[in-house]
């Protein structure tokens, strides 16, 4: 059974940094893509960043470009999201997602991902 477990969320002042981790277990092959999504209260879940299984391709939503960095440690099956220069509008629950089956769709499409974590809360206060 595949499990994705996020950690690293918390409360931070605007301008600060957080590093999210997503530990994957129960999957014997490499995922095609792994991604971070976020959902703020009253808003739809949106893609934040994604990386290919080999880590050679990365994507970011415009709102976080230059501030967030997605990376992975394949040896430990862990996905990371380094978040710098955080803003109050970054406040949301952040979810890790993984694509285990080859399919089409854009990296920010929820339907592309087979597995989801439970989420970790990030709160940025001014």
Residue 67: the pLDDT is 98
The reported pLDDT for the residue numbered 68 is 98
120 Cβ neighbours under 8 A, 6+ residues apart: 6, 7, 8, 9, 20, 93, 94
The alpha carbon of 88 is separated from its chain's Cα centroid by a whole number of angstroms, namely 18
Residues of the chain with pLDDT under 70: none
Distance in angstroms (rounded) separating the CA atoms of residues 106 and 26: 25
Instruction: Specify whether the CB–CB gap between 36 and 45 falls below 8 A.
Output: no
- Which pLDDT does position 101 carry in this prediction? 81
């Amino acid at each position: 059974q595949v499990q994705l477990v996020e950690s690293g969320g918390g409360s931070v002042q605007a301008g600060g940094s957080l590093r999210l981790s997503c530990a994957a277990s129960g999957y014997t092959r490499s995922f095609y893509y792994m991604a971070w999504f976020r959902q703020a209260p009253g808003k739809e879940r949106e893609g934040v960043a994604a990386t290919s299984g080999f880590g050679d391709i990365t994507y970011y939503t415009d709102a976080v470009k230059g501030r967030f960095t997605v990376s992975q440690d394949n040896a430990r099956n862990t996905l990371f999201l380094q978040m710098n220069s955080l803003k109050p509008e970054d406040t949301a629950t952040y979810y890790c997602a993984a694509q285990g089956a080859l399919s089409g769709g854009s990296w920010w499409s929820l339907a592309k991902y087979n597995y989801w974590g439970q989420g970790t809360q990030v709160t940025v206060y001014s």
